[in-house]
Structure 1
Amino acid sequence: MTPVRGWPLSFRLFASAALGAIGAFGQAPHGHWGAAVLALILIVPVFLASETRARAGWVGWYFATGYFAHALSWIIEPFQVDAERHAWMAPFALVFMAGGLALFWAVAFRLSRHFGATAMGQSIFLVVTLSLAELARGYVLTGFPWAGVAQIWVDTPMAQLLSLVGPYGLNALTYAVAFPIGAALVQERRLQALARPLSFAAVMVVLTMGYASIRPRVQDGPHTVRIVQPNAPQHQKWDPAYAPLFFARQIEYSAALPRPDLIVWPETAVPAWLGSAQPYLASITDAAQGTAVVLGIQRGDGPRIFNSMVYLDEAGRQSGLYDKHHLAPFGEYVPLGDLMGRFGIYGLAATAGHGFSAGPGPDLLDFGKMGKALPLICYEAVFPQGVNGAPGRADFLLQITNDAWFGTRSGPFQHLAQARMRAIEQGLPMIRSANTGISAMIDPLGQVTASLALGKAGYVDAILPQPQQPTVYSRIGDSPVLAALLFLAALVWFSIRRLSK
């Protein structure tokens, strides 16, 4: 009998929310992964004290709501850019986002509570169901896997497991370490019960350290990339009084000596639509002095508008175009946009109707002697399945983004962490140019080799590391993890049902 069962339900739910909020300290910029693991361990006794499945579901919902409310608190920042229009939406956005994402966890907790089954059996079933719930969160309704538990490991050797099992597999391994320890805490012979889960955790640590130590060493490549960061605050970015200043900064940084092999500007870096941007592009070509340039720009095609990336070759010719395909709901478009527009509700980054249109999907851009790049615009780097869906193997990843929307607290740091995860998963370097930061060169092991701090205007010249061989995860994706979790779910389900009879 767990002592938690003697607590009033209201206190248990409050404790669950508090544990979730504490667990979010594992996310960037805090990086206290121990807080996240401890929260995952301690929520299990509260879960096992639930007298009904419904109460177990509420425990999961409160825990996850506390976790996401803290981890995603940056989501109020975009609504402050145009406060007169959008500030009233900010608290609703945070509450509905945290509470909505928590529904995935609530279902997992409810399904895992089986009376008559052992505490350890239920904790193992929770590992499987919550892992499946997190996988669903990354795919359902366009997906939003931000703040996945795997992100807490980005600065540790555990992150190298991403190259084997990806983020959803690493989620599952994290739960597999934490939940059985939590179940052991409520058993009568606690020290004896802790022996197995602690031994499993120790073995995982040893194997992970061993794997991280044999990962291929990063090799520098022959090319230098200039990453430009103009630091244009979002409320000034399109202001006619300030936009020329930000553009001039980028021109100045691009013209500086010595000459790199490639210059990268951030998302929507040009204050004009592509169809009428020739004077701007001519200025960029003159400043680049024979160096190829990648830049973000908006473009129109009839009634449709796109958030795009353009590649200008050494002669200033447009030699590549990519349209963002994974758009941000309520940011770049609004479902039923024309109808919502009648009520004055538009995407934060759009001003009419449905907003931006989605491009055809992941693609590769040919950069000549530098190889092929997989372009990613803004939060496309959050989705591992999008990176895995590219039509071929890239030589490097290329992300341009405008993280000014995310404020200066946690959002930009978490976005960078996820970019680092994509590099590890693929075994590829990533060039990352962010309007207000954090711009960075990331090597195939997820380490930042050069960067520009948040809120700083400037540029950095960085050597582009060599790509490594395709990783296991880049070859197999999420399907094997899904299949293994479904098999384990069936196995544990039937075992629990048999033992409960």
Structure 2
Amino acid sequence: MTRLVDGYARSAAVPSAPVRDPDPGRAAVPGAVLAIARLTGWRRLGLAWLVGALGALAMPPYGIVPALAVSLTVAVWLQDGAASGRTALRRFWPCFLIGWAWGFGYLTAGLWWLGQAFLVEADEFLWALPLGVIGLPFALGLFYGAGFGAAGLLWSRGTARIAALAFGIAAAEWLRGHVFTGFPWNTLGMALAQNLWLMQGAALIGLYGLTILAVLACAAPATLATGPRPLGRFGPSAAAAALLAGMAVYGAERLGPPDPVVAGIRLRLVQPNLPQDAKFRPENRADIVDRYIELSQRPVEAGAPEPTHIVWPESAFPFLIQRDPDALAKVAAGLKPGQHLITGAARAEEPLPGERLRYFNAVMVIGRDGRISDSYDKVHLVPFGEYLPAPLDAALRALGLRQFVAIPGGFSAGSLVARQILSVPGLPSVAATICYEAIFPHAILPAGHVAPAQEPAGLILNVTNDAWFGDTPGPRQHLAQARLRAVEEGLPLVRDANTGISAVIDPHGRILGRTPLDEETWLDADLPARIPGGTLYGRFGDTAFALMLAACLGGALVARRP
């Protein structure tokens, strides 16, 4: 006896042989696909973990998008098996487990390089390496579990189940980027955001909109083996190909000629390649400052203009330069007439009576007079890296543990409400970001985009220190994600990293200059102009994403109707 459940013919036939569906409008389901759908228990979760890990190859620096297509196609077939023969509510748990295993594999393969940070001070942090390499992906996989579970509630036969999966995964990715301070690293939309033509879509729909399109396109091949023929079988893949082609045509048209540059501005990005070890200590302050100044004063190429603005990376000094007048004077003396320095530096704020001294991870503007004319305090701190979360702070410190950054009590966060545009003489208004703040979509500019009495931002500045992660995919993934912010906001990106990769990127995502990783060097470049009027995404944020999410939900719900 044969029965049809959710598009699959169930029979006692040999799994390797094609099984014919009693519905003549449907094609045979290959035995290999049936074997995947029929997996249960640990075998099902093991395959989900493996194909999730395979999907990570679509992320930088590899960019193998077909790997994500294989990954999501198999995930659809696993979901088919979990949904077969169950009521909607009873589908949630088995689909949740598939999603959790898939996400666990995807994040383990994509974030293994985090373990490098635990080896910098191995005597103190090596014990915690499994928590970062295994524990974090294990926990973040729960978001994907919720997304796959939600998709399971909406699961149906045919093409609509692809929309259900896109809804579940995209909603989960948005939540991963916002809940518990958020961690949107390697969001699936980055699979499309590495191609210069395809990334232009981010100017309209942002990273999360690209995520919906990536899931729809990469999961569509699942219907080649299970859909009704001919339209239900080939239609979704043809539509995916047309979608990607349309995005490419739009992107090529949007790119147009090179962006103009802002007259009278010449940047020098200094990359000192200082190791994150014993050499970077307060007792070495003089040598460190001298190294920065020497790189800043290197002669320009023949015929090139002198730099007007020098940029140094995040946490450039292992001491509080604001409290060291001799160091400030030395830095100022190293500037040429008309030059200004923009540098990352720790900043201390005098406490009120009864309070402890507060430290901030900051960007400072220093002129030739040695005065700090403006500063920006990092708003989005790294949990356990720059501070210990409040519920665990006292308990962990009682055990003798601390955050990675050796600041007493950790850094304090800058005010999100008062997040300001940085004012630098001679530059357009600067939207400053420090380290991984640049990975958060639509969080680059203050609310409203223009603070009172300020002009719109003219560039995104990202100073960072990726020395913690060595020569791994981490710094390359960081650059790719920061690059997408330029396209989303229609602003050029100036990125200075201690060990690399430093770069200047125009508002269309074109890399105009970049440095190698782990090399002491500098980069001289002009500043590209912003896109007049900005972008649709810059004005409306995730509105288009919300509409796309609602469309996927609506399509899945309509297909569920009897």
TM class by shorter chain equals over 0.9
Is residue 365 of structure 1 aligned with residue 365 of structure 2? no
Q: Which residue of 1 aligns with 2:514?
A: 451
The DSSP-based 3-state class of the residue aligned with 2:215 is helix
Q: Which residue of 1 aligns with 2:365?
A: 311
The DSSP-based 3-state class of the residue aligned with 2:226 is coil
Q: Tell me, yes or no, if the aligned pair for 1:124 and 1:180 is still in contact at 8 Å.
A: no
Is residue 32 of structure 1 aligned with residue 72 of structure 2? no
Structure with more of its chain in helix, by fraction? 1
Q: Tell me, yes or no, if the aligned pair for 2:68 and 2:218 is still in contact at 8 Å.
A: no
The DSSP-based 3-state class of the residue aligned with 1:424 is helix
The DSSP-based 3-state class of the residue aligned with 2:211 is helix
Letter in 1 for 2:334: A
Take 2:100 and 2:504, find their aligned partners in 1: how far apart are those partners? 38
Aligned pair partner of 1:269 in 316, 320, 325: 316
Unpaired runs of 5+ in structure 1? none
- The alpha-carbon deviation at position 138 of structure 1 amounts to 0.8
- The alpha-carbon deviation at position 195 of structure 1 amounts to 2.2
- Counterparts in 2 of 1:78-157, with a 5 A limit? 78-114=117-153, 117-156=156-195, 157=197
- The alpha-carbon deviation at position 10 of structure 1 amounts to 2.3
- The alpha-carbon deviation at position 112 of structure 1 amounts to 1.7
Q: Which residue of 1 aligns with 2:398?
A: 342
Take 1:214 and 1:29, find their aligned partners in 2: how far apart are those partners? 26
Farther-moved stretch of structure 1 (101-110 vs 332-341)? 332-341
- The alpha-carbon deviation at position 319 of structure 1 amounts to 1.5
- The alpha-carbon deviation at position 124 of structure 1 amounts to 1.4
Take 2:385 and 2:115, find their aligned partners in 1: how far apart are those partners? 12
Instruction: Give the RMSD, CA atoms, in angstroms.
Output: 2.0
Take 2:145 and 2:169, find their aligned partners in 1: how far apart are those partners? 9
Take 2:284 and 2:43, find their aligned partners in 1: how far apart are those partners? 52
Is residue 221 of structure 1 aligned with residue 262 of structure 2? yes
- Counterparts in 2 of 1:423-438, with a 5 A limit? 423-438=486-501
Q: Cα deviation per residue 1:164-199 (whole Å; 9 max; x = unaligned)? A: 10000000111122223324422354x643321122
Take 1:329 and 1:338, find their aligned partners in 2: how far apart are those partners? 15
Q: Which residue of 2 aligns with 1:288?
A: 335
- Counterparts in 2 of 1:57-68, with a 5 A limit? 57-68=96-107
Q: Which residue of 2 aligns with 1:461?
A: 524
Farther-moved stretch of structure 1 (2-11 vs 257-266)? 2-11
Is residue 419 of structure 1 aligned with residue 482 of structure 2? yes
Q: Tell me, yes or no, if the aligned pair for 2:60 and 2:194 is still in contact at 8 Å.
A: no
The DSSP-based 3-state class of the residue aligned with 1:53 is helix
Q: Which residue of 1 aligns with 2:436?
A: 379
Letter in 1 for 2:66: G
The DSSP-based 3-state class of the residue aligned with 1:366 is coil
Q: Tell me, yes or no, if the aligned pair for 1:154 and 1:420 is still in contact at 8 Å.
A: no
Is residue 251 of structure 1 aligned with residue 293 of structure 2? yes
- The alpha-carbon deviation at position 19 of structure 1 amounts to 0.8
Take 1:315 and 1:244, find their aligned partners in 2: how far apart are those partners? 20
Is residue 178 of structure 1 aligned with residue 218 of structure 2? yes
- The alpha-carbon deviation at position 242 of structure 1 amounts to 4.9
Q: Which residue of 2 aligns with 1:300?
A: 348
Take 2:528 and 2:92, find their aligned partners in 1: how far apart are those partners? 51
Size of the aligned set, in residue pairs, is 496
- The alpha-carbon deviation at position 114 of structure 1 amounts to 4.4
- The alpha-carbon deviation at position 96 of structure 1 amounts to 1.8
Is residue 478 of structure 1 aligned with residue 518 of structure 2? no
Highest CA radius of gyration, 1 or 2?
2
Take 2:128 and 2:320, find their aligned partners in 1: how far apart are those partners? 29
Take 1:236 and 1:6, find their aligned partners in 2: how far apart are those partners? 55
Normalized against structure 1, the TM-score is what? 0.94
Q: Which residue of 1 aligns with 2:234?
A: 195
Q: Which residue of 1 aligns with 2:376?
A: 322
Aligned pair partner of 1:159 in 199, 205, 208: 199
- The alpha-carbon deviation at position 76 of structure 1 amounts to 1.0
Q: Tell me, yes or no, if the aligned pair for 1:46 and 1:59 is still in contact at 8 Å.
A: yes
Farther-moved stretch of structure 1 (136-145 vs 309-318)? 309-318
The DSSP-based 3-state class of the residue aligned with 2:376 is strand
Letter in 2 for 1:292: H
Q: Tell me, yes or no, if the aligned pair for 2:189 and 2:213 is still in contact at 8 Å.
A: no
Letter in 1 for 2:397: G
The DSSP-based 3-state class of the residue aligned with 1:238 is coil
Q: Cα deviation per residue 1:367-417 (whole Å; 9 max; x = unaligned)? A: 233211101111110111311445423101111101112222111001001
Take 2:299 and 2:369, find their aligned partners in 1: how far apart are those partners? 18
Q: Tell me, yes or no, if the aligned pair for 1:187 and 1:193 is still in contact at 8 Å.
A: yes
Farther-moved stretch of structure 1 (18-27 vs 153-162)? 153-162
Letter in 2 for 1:341: R
Q: Tell me, yes or no, if the aligned pair for 2:459 and 2:493 is still in contact at 8 Å.
A: yes
Take 2:381 and 2:155, find their aligned partners in 1: how far apart are those partners? 46
Q: Tell me, yes or no, if the aligned pair for 2:155 and 2:556 is still in contact at 8 Å.
A: no
Take 2:232 and 2:561, find their aligned partners in 1: how far apart are those partners? 22
The DSSP-based 3-state class of the residue aligned with 2:103 is helix
Q: Which residue of 1 aligns with 2:5?
A: none
Q: Which residue of 2 aligns with 1:495?
A: 558
Take 1:311 and 1:233, find their aligned partners in 2: how far apart are those partners? 24
Letter in 2 for 1:234: Q
- The alpha-carbon deviation at position 115 of structure 1 amounts to 8.5
Report the identity percentage: 32
Q: Cα deviation per residue 1:342-363 (whole Å; 9 max; x = unaligned)? A: 112211114433x110111332
Unpaired runs of 5+ in structure 2? 1-7, 9-32, 85-90, 301-305, 352-356, 451-455
Aligned pair partner of 1:20 in 41, 52, 60: 52
Is residue 207 of structure 1 aligned with residue 264 of structure 2? no
Letter in 1 for 2:233: L
Cα distance, 1:341–1:116 mapped onto 2, change above 3 Å: closer
Aligned pair partner of 2:463 in 392, 400, 410: 400
- The alpha-carbon deviation at position 482 of structure 1 amounts to 2.3
- The alpha-carbon deviation at position 42 of structure 1 amounts to 2.4
Take 1:54 and 1:98, find their aligned partners in 2: how far apart are those partners? 19
Take 1:163 and 1:271, find their aligned partners in 2: how far apart are those partners? 38
Take 1:116 and 1:326, find their aligned partners in 2: how far apart are those partners? 37
